[in-house]
């Protein structure tokens, strides 16, 4: 079992398999990105070598992120290999390339998909992402629902951009069993620009939703980052994720691994270890696990403490979404 300095059990890893993305969302990365060379990324073999002892130590939940994970050419063989020893695998995607992979994902038993979508208007999608891919993303959303996948829609709320769409997104839950989660904007845009997570925090988002719909609080799963509600008569659910307010830090059960093998014990902190370098320098599983346990033993108590120790904001695509 893995535990941190504050006796929290760690059983969840968010693994970014690439830094590359086919969108350029303004809150995530600059228009001009210098992407990593393939040799800098963890290989499939390295990922499997790393995750097997972690699974043996209690990691039973894995989320695959990017960048955009479906840009990684060898993703499906990796998922098939990971599914052999990690039961709960989910994926976060922007949906541009995802549709053609849905039958393969379902065949592997991977049905939990988080789809990033910040607007329901094509012209606004182009403004936010700098790419005209709205039809492809909507086709993916419809196909996911047709295949009975468990879909969570991730909507980053940005002042002056999409706050007027809160009721329209919430209305999607009326006839579909979808979970729409409104996320506070975070300062990881890789551009040094201001962000609106402190203006449009989760309380303001909830207040705005309640102007249009009655919200019934639902029980939150242990270690959940989303505060979840039901609109009476709706099939789906709505939730808010206090990503900048960081109200969920006290129960955090996750580690992050970046595409280059950087280990993060907190989203708001820097890399505390590089597992790729350890693997390529010949470190064995016992040594690597000892280093990970040591890093957890020095984990900050929450995201605010981690932020105070971190002097540099990376792009979210480099951190892993």
What is residue 246's predicted lDDT score, i.e. its pLDDT? Answer: 87
pTM above 0.75, yes or no: yes
What is the CATH class of 2-319?
alpha beta
- Chain segment 212-222, per-residue pLDDT in tens: 999 999 998 88
Run of H or E residues at 139: helix 134-146
What is residue 268's predicted lDDT score, i.e. its pLDDT? Answer: 86
Strand partners, 217: 229
- Chain segment 221-278, per-residue pLDDT in tens: 888 899 999 999 999 999 999 988 888 888 999 999 999 999 999 988 889 999 999 9
Query: What does the buried/exposed string (b/e) look like for 279-301 if buried means 16 or more CB atoms within 10 Å of the residue's CB?
Result: beeeeeeeebbebbeebbeebbe
* β-bridge pairing 273-274 and 216-217: unpaired
DSSP class per residue in 250-299? GG--EEEE-TT-EEESSTTS---EEHHHHHHTT--HHHHHHHHHHHHHT-
């Amino acid at each position: 079992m893995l535990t941190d300095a504050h006796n929290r059990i760690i059983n969840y890893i968010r693994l970014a398999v690439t830094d590359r993305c086919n969108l350029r969302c303004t809150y995530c990365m600059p228009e001009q990105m210098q992407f990593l060379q393939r040799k800098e990324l963890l290989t499939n073999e390295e990922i499997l070598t790393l995750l097997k002892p972690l699974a043996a130590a209690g990691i039973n939940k894995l989320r695959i992120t990017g960048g955009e994970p479906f840009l990684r050419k060898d993703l499906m063989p990796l998922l098939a290999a990971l599914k052999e020893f990690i039961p709960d695998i989910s994926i976060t995607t922007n949906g541009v390339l995802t549709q053609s992979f849905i039958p393969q994902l379902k065949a592997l038993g991977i049905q939990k998909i988080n789809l990033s979508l910040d607007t329901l208007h094509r012209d606004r999608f182009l403004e936010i992402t700098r790419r005209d891919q709205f039809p492809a993303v909507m086709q993916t959303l419809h196909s996911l629902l047709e295949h009975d996948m468990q879909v969570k829609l991730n909507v980053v709320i940005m002042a002056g951009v999409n706050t007027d769409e809160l009721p329209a997104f919430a209305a999607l839950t009326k006839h579909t069993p979808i979970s729409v989660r409104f996320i506070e904007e975070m300062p990881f845009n890789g551009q040094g620009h201001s962000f609106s997570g402190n203006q449009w925090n989760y309380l303001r988002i909830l207040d705005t939703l309640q102007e249009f719909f009655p919200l019934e609080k639902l029980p939150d799963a242990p270690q959940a980052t989303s505060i979840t509600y039901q609109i009476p008569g709706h099939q789906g659910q709505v939730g808010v994720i206090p990503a900048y307010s960081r109200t969920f830090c006290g129960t955090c059960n996750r580690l992050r691994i970046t595409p280059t093998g950087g280990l993060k014990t907190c989203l708001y902190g820097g890399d505390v270890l590089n597992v790729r370098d350890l693997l390529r320098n010949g470190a064995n599983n016992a040594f690597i696990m000892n280093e990970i346990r040591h890093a957890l033993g020095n984990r900050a108590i929450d995201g605010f403490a981690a932020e105070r120790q971190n002097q540099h904001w990376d792009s979210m695509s480099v951190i892993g979404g």
